[in-house]
Structure 1
Amino acid sequence: MQDLVTVFGGSGFLGSQVVRALAKQGLRVRVAVRQPHLAHTMRLLGDVGQIEVVQANVRNEASVQRALAGAQGCVNLVGLLYETGRQKFQSVHTMGARNIAAQAKAAGLKSLVQVSAIGADANSEAKYARTKGMGEAAVREAFPDAVIIRPSIIFGQGDGFFNKFGEMAVISPVLPLIGGGKTRFQPVFVGDVAKAIAKAVTDPACAGKTYELGGAAVVSFKEVMEIINAQTGRARLLMPLPMPVAGLIGKLCEIVTLTPVAPPLTSDQVELLKTDNVVTGAYPGLSDLGITATTLEAVLPTYMYRFRRGGQYADETERMVAA
């Protein structure tokens, strides 16, 4: 076994792939999460004793110190898609990121990877993007050699984007085109992002750089909905939804949704949709890390089939109906 890398938020959708990628390199991995009893399966992603799970809250200085003890590198994946209770964008994206960076520097870690997002901007009208941008600045101040990773929408089995609209296509006769469906995305495969992070935390040549990670193709919101129709085999009506109306719906969802159920839409997410989510070209990307972007076509059919009538047996069911 080689060096120890601490991964904050390592039990989630992206985190599990990052832990697996690090373990494949022979590294020891410490998965730091708020509720370790819910992350016991993480140990199965590596050899016996290679992966450990510990409790940590990025807002708590002492717990971050304990999680970093003896580590040579760390990755911060902790982030929110919406606010609940004490889990606020500011406290997690900005204060939590600053806390990790400061403690990593104090502990003498060799590397730190801060996972942010395309569109992170301390001056953004959207709280998510604004606090991500503030978090980047805080990390840079405390740990100048940190690597910042900005992915676009991440897709893969268990994602919260294509799966969400797949579920909607099952129960709703229409799919919304927020803002007319003009917003552009550059979806990037979760496995590619995990490889990029694993390289960034172990390669000294990446120190101090910012990477924007986009996938093989740029698609509009409308094109995404068309992909959802094709992948689910359901011809849902695509209905334009003006931004002001979507924003109002988002505010209502925030009011009536009960924690811990994720709201289907928030006003802050609507604000984010006013800006394209694609790489700017001003920063290095996947190719600079030696990674070829995986296409949507290669991955979506491997998990979106479950939204079809008949699920994995959809093709066989269709043939039987036709007969």
Structure 2
Amino acid sequence: MAADVLLEVQAVGHVYADDSHGLADCSLAICRGSRNALLGANGSGKTTLLLHLNGLLQPSSGCIRIDGQPLDYSRGGLAALRRRVGLVFQNPDRQLFSANVFEDVSFGPLNLGLDEASVRARVAQALAAVGMAGQAERPVHHLSFGQKKRACIAGVLAMQPELLLLDEPMAGLDPGMQDDLLRVLDDLAARGISIVLATHDVDFAYGWADDIHLLAAGRCTASFAAAQLPLQEAALRAAGQPLPAVVTLHQALVAHGALPAGPVPRGMPQLLALLAMPAAAEDGMNETARASQRSAA
């Protein structure tokens, strides 16, 4: 196994009590310090996979390894795993249960047996990381939905994990809240924390992730660097996913000679920047003209 692989899923299957299959021969690897998007339609197995990565579910078949070693499902083994791998649920109300923000974020560190000073330091650092340094004494039920999501992330960060798992983190957030959360995730990634998030938003996955893992019917059908997504149209279609809008638009502009064929931008701001460069547009039109001349010849 490559030295930079933190966590590896090897041919994992999971059968629920009602005999439905949550995962089926699912394999993928998460590299240390990377940003990963689990991309798939509802019911593709994204949440089930996240629950396995945190040890809340055990495989019916196959194996999950961290640092090359199989997960230890004993009480002590799971406690050690959850200090390294933190999970943020899609609905923050499933995760917040204390009276105020400080109490909720301090729950994990207190259970580690840390002294009061260490707990307060961890809580302060975690709240600062999510932009809620001034909200420690605020009642949880007074928080907005976006603040609740950030409080949940802070509660996980207070455990100082190596890997952060998030289930549909942008769900239910307005554009401003999504921008706030995106800045938090970017800051965490810059600090070297590995991130895995589940999403069905191909545009977001393409613009944000380092690596994309396509899920369909409980199986990882493809894993690739996000920058290679424009070359993965067949795999995307097989997983019920369209090309990102920016890729489709770029292809149309290339076909009309307005832009050169590459590189493909990862978001609308980059595409608009390309269109604002007269030289790029001229090069694209010149290439179209040359192609026409070759065809005529």
Q: TM-score, normalised by structure 2?
A: 0.31
**Structure with the larger strand share:** 2
Larger Rg: 2
